[in-house]
Amino acid sequence: MTDTDHAHAQRMLVASLVVVGMGFTVLFPVLAPLGRDMGLSELQITAIISASSLTVFLSSPRWGRLSDSLGRKRIILTGIFGFTAGTGLFNTTLHLGIAGFITGTALFIALLVTRVMHASVMSATMPAANAYMADVTSAANRTRGMGAAGAANNVGAILGPAVAVFATIDLTAPLWIMAAAALLNGLFVWRFLPELPKHSPGVVPPRMKYTDPRILPFVIVGVTMFMGNALVQQTMGFRFQDALGLTGAQTAQTMGVAMMASAVCSLFAQAVIVQRIDVAPFTLLRLALPLLIVAFVIMALAENRWALTGALMIQGFGMGLAGPGFMAGASLAVSKHEQGAVAGVAGSCGPLGFTIGPLLGGLLYQVAPTLPYSTAAVIYVILLGCMPWLGKRVLQHKAE
């Protein structure tokens, strides 16, 4: 492919990732109030997210390796169309719960199983998309390329919660809208995204361990970072509803607006700041962590809508800096033929964080509403203190 072809492929991928981002965030403003309306506890609601995230964590490395042998585009399409079908199945189960056909433990198990089935296939999209971006960018432009992909995902993250305004019609309406959008996105990718050459046909794609010394520092930072992010996203719905005394529909709308504001800040960091500064990926992580600590402290202390929204905006900006640094750093640490494998491992760090974060947040929230955020702040302070040691490991293995 020529440089012009690569630029075209990047634009098509970025456009597709907008809709993928919408799919990942549309559920967050809706699930907390919807779960409570169906009689589920905070721990059960967060357990559904944790189980699906664990599934994505376990599935992502395999999808990343398969994208090396079967082709990036085929695996991206598998994830997008799998998301469409899985969302339809999950939504149908929600309707059965709302109507009272399934209740209590049976409802919880049904939602858990359908969400896990959903996650097992939709997890194909991001590792293949990140490996695709690595294929069509040079090493010098890798951080900017990953930043552009992250920015596209955050445009979707802005639009996803915005779809929550349709919760006034029905709390499941935003989810049905996203199922239709995902179907159209799949057709767009099938028609317009260029197919890339397969890597080493007939050769088994390399496996990559999370403990691989080249990427271990990025894995540690990534899992911890996403754990804190998940802890916030899966408990802030409860926080808004309880602190402000909102109904289910009001919670979905208020949380949706706050998440939109957070995603706008994340988009600004990725589309403007990351694209204009030329720093090493690990430096971006060092810049992001203090901002995230400040955000968690504000969340623990705030008791009104504006302070909580402001904290989410600071967190969004910090994650906007950290995300491209994490993905680009892991990508640059390995060879070209390992891009699918590293994309799978790096892409599964987020789901692992989202496995631990919601469960931890749900447990802590039942003890005290502010405890999840103060705990996250302490964890991030410890991580910040470890950054000099982790940075030395990055430099050491680059030298080798």
Which residue has better confidence, 19 or 206? Answer: 19
Per-residue pLDDT at 306 exceeds 90: yes
Return the pLDDT at 206. 61
Of 91-105, 139-153, 175-189, 248-262, the least confident: 139-153
Do 21 and 157 meet the contact criterion of CB atoms below 8 Å apart? yes
Which residue has better confidence, 122 or 395? Answer: 122
Instruction: Determine the average pLDDT of the residues in 41-46.
Output: 86
Return the pLDDT at 311. 94
Which residues are CB-contacts of 202 (< 8 A; sequence separation ≥ 6)?
none
Instruction: Determine the average pLDDT of the residues in 167-184.
Output: 85
Could you report how far apart the first and last alpha carbons of the chain are, in Å?
A: 32
Return the pLDDT at 399. 45
Collapse the DSSP code of 368 into the 3-class scheme (helix H, G, I; strand E, B; otherwise coil) and give the result: coil
Q: Which of 139-148, 238-247, 290-299, 327-336 is modeled with the greatest confidence?
A: 290-299
Q: What is the pLDDT of residues 219-271, one digit of tens each?
A: 888 888 888 888 887 788 888 888 888 887 788 788 878 888 887 888 888 77
Q: Which of 12-16, 110-114, 220-224, 319-323 is modeled with the greatest confidence?
A: 110-114
Burial 188-221 (b: 16+ CB within 10 A, else e): ebeeebeebeebeeeeebeebebebebbbbbbbb
Q: Domain ranges in the chain? A: 3-193+210-399
Which residues are CB-contacts of 164 (< 8 A; sequence separation ≥ 6)?
26, 29, 30, 174, 252, 253, 255, 256
Which residue has better confidence, 323 or 296? Answer: 296
Do 236 and 307 meet the contact criterion of CB atoms below 8 Å apart? no
Instruction: Determine the average pLDDT of the residues in 327-356.
Output: 76
Is the pTM for the entire model greater than 0.75? Answer: no
Model confidence at 338, pLDDT cuts 50, 70, 90, reads confident
Return the pLDDT at 145. 73
Percent pLDDT > 70 in the chain is: 89
Per-residue pLDDT at 107 exceeds 90: yes
Which residues are CB-contacts of 38 (< 8 A; sequence separation ≥ 6)?
94, 97, 98, 103, 107
| CATH class of this structure's domain 3-193+210-399 | mainly alpha
Instruction: Determine the average pLDDT of the residues in 161-169.
Output: 74
